[in-house]
Structure 1
Amino acid sequence: MGTGVGTTTETIKVTRNKLKVLPCLSRLGTEELKLIERKSYVKKIAKNDVLFSSSDELKFLYIIVSGAVKLFKASEEGREIVIKTMTAGEHFCCAPLYTDRKQVVNAIAIEETSVICIPAETFLEMVCNGLSGQGIKILQTLCARVQHLSKIVEDLTFKDVENRVLSCIIEMASEKSPSDNIVSLNVTHQEIASMTGSVREVVSRTMSKLKKAGIILERGVKEFKVDKQLAATFLKK
């Protein structure tokens, strides 16, 4: 896999028609589009070069001019799941409004490719100038859902049921009480099964195993306590 070293900036001009491929830019006025034109550029990427990696800081939005880019997730063991192959005219959008401003997938050119690079800050400024505070919150909520769904895809692909259940209860416990280690949760096994893509019987067996390990405490039908620190340690094994 390439490292992006072979990427070069092309002399192809960024035009308003190319920018209007992005639905969120299609109705902007001439002056607004000119501002984006001035700050954007086209980059040429060699085959097998990385455009960005998962969890990289998000610096640009991309519109593909020519070629193809594979968007994928990868496990620590090197397993892959392809999310989508992007071709000419397609774009990667929404991400500047992610709360952590991080990429959620990896992107690699699968043939020689040219992309328009739009600075994320320029895009975000343009979006914020054209929306009310409530509109921005709605977009941020939608982007948060995209991140959540992306994580579900990754978990279902790369994690077994035990790890999915552990990750789920750690996340719920952290959201309910970030500062406490022992946290009570009111959630049924069926609800956990629905959140982890499993079935109640499998979750029940997993919860019994976690109780024997001391991670789950005082387990009832609809309520249990979780030791977050022990759960996180167990998850890393």
Structure 2
Amino acid sequence: MHGPDASNLLERLDALTQAALLQGFHQRQLVEGELLGSPNGERDSVFIVRSGRIRVFLAFEDKEYTLTFLEAGGIYSTHSQAYVQAVRPSEVLMGDTAQTMATLRSLPSAVPAIIRVLGATLDNCMRIIEDLAFRDVEGRLARFLDGMLARKGRPHQGSLRLELDLNTEDIAQLLGTTRQTVSSLLNRMAREGILSRAGNGVFDIHDAERLRARSQ
């Protein structure tokens, strides 16, 4: 039902290209909650996630807006106007921005893969911003589940199983709402027969058409 993960750079590069690109990168371990970048930070680096999960978000006064979660193979920089924070123990590969740009000039074969991965990240950010502006919370949740179903869903006992590796708090951060609201909406969808929970972050979608209709 879904193809290769468009957001994983490490899977898209062959071994020789990957080795050439990562020359000069160094490994860094992050603990949960550690900031890797911030709007006022001085670090000017490019990083690639090897494991774990990194949250990219904006913060205004007492509100936070999640732009995306980066997982294995995701690439980003520390010099944007966003906060970059590990939401679980993570390992990243860090490289100086100027040196990385110089490497790419002599390694054009890596550029298309990087553009595709960054494009997938940008598409996700734009989807989140659009949802915050034009959809209520139920519509945002339905659209999120429908989109993830297209990427990760698989047939399972007459339904479609969706394994997210996200808890309710993670989903709430992505949707710009509270954990309680997400939990309430999921319970309502379960009562209506649209889905059921099969575990933490695991859902069986019984009526994909009704779910998609809720996302419109």
Q: TM-score range by the shorter chain?
A: 0.3 to 0.5
Instruction: Give the TM-score normalised by structure 1.
Output: 0.40
Greater Rg, structure 1 or structure 2? Answer: 1
Instruction: Give the TM-score normalised by structure 2.
Output: 0.44
Which structure has more relative contact order (CA 8 Å, sep 6+)? It is 2
